[in-house]
Structure 1
Amino acid sequence: MFDNPVQEARRYIENARQTLSRSAQKDGRYYSDKKYVKTAGHQAYTGVLLALDAVTPKPKKGRKTEEFYRAEITKMDKKLLRSFNVAYENLHMFMGYDGATDVSVAESGLREAETIIDWVANRLS
């Protein structure tokens, strides 16, 4: 799909960081604009999935689901599953759907996203 999925995944994470810093209007420990928090959450979680797609097979039927990624990650590295769970919850659910405005949620999710992308980069090298 991409010539360098790790580089592309990192670009998505950087876009999410820029969306938060430029548009979400950080006010102390919180963001003021949920719309941009949601956008950043979707951007970052998409980056995680792009990276994981480089090391996971295609499913036999249908699309890759959260359960599919969990099962595949468990086969490869059970410790990475913690990072995936936090990234899924913080980026996809709390930020992407709920628009969670707590800065620590975004920081934690982005940190775990980078952990996953680094893991994929090491696996591909």
Structure 2
Amino acid sequence: MAIQNQDNLLSPAEEAARHLQNAKEILSEKAGKKDGLYADVKYVKMAASTAYSAALLILDEYLKQKEGVKFIKPKSIEDYTNRVGKYDKKRLRLLVNVYDELHIIGYYHGTRSVNTIQTGLSNVTKMLAYI
């Protein structure tokens, strides 16, 4: 129970960074890498999902900062893209890339491509600078 209470003390940026670090650890410790491909898709999917959740935490905080008391958590990727796009096109492009690289290609399709997943992780890291 102490860990759960500790998590509540983390800032949104720290929590997102923790998710991102967990994704990297899953890949390095469990996915196995050889010749530019991951060996175990199960762990790639797990890491992609974890990293994508970091991106959503970042976007939620970004929208809270922009919208203040009017903020309501987005319910779909379309809602995220519409709202983020109102404020910053560069952030919107990162969102679209992360959605494709981690959520669709990494999680749903279960890619084994190290390059695709690493690009997605790098884009989430760039997003962290926005909060």
Q: Is TM (by shorter chain) over 0.5? A: yes
1:91 to 87, 102, 106: 102
Question: Are 2:79 and 1:68 aligned?
Answer: yes
1:13 to 16, 20, 24: 20
Q: CA RMSD in A?
A: 1.5
Q: Which runs of 5+ in 2 are unaligned?
A: 1-6, 64-70
Query: Which has a greater percent of helix?
Result: 2
| Percent identity of equivalent pairs | 34
Residue number in structure 2 paired with 1:4: 11
The aligned runs of 1:34-53 (5 Å cut-off) are 34-53=41-60
Larger radius of gyration: 2
Q: Which runs of 5+ in 1 are unaligned?
A: none
Is the partner of 1:19 in helix, strand or coil? helix
How far residue 55 of structure 1 moved from its aligned partner, in angstroms, is: 2.5
Report the TM-score, using the length of structure 1 for normalisation: 0.88
Deviations 1:16-48 (A, max 9, x none): 000000000111200010000000000000000
Report the TM-score, using the length of structure 2 for normalisation: 0.84
| Deviating 4+ runs (over 3 angstroms) | none
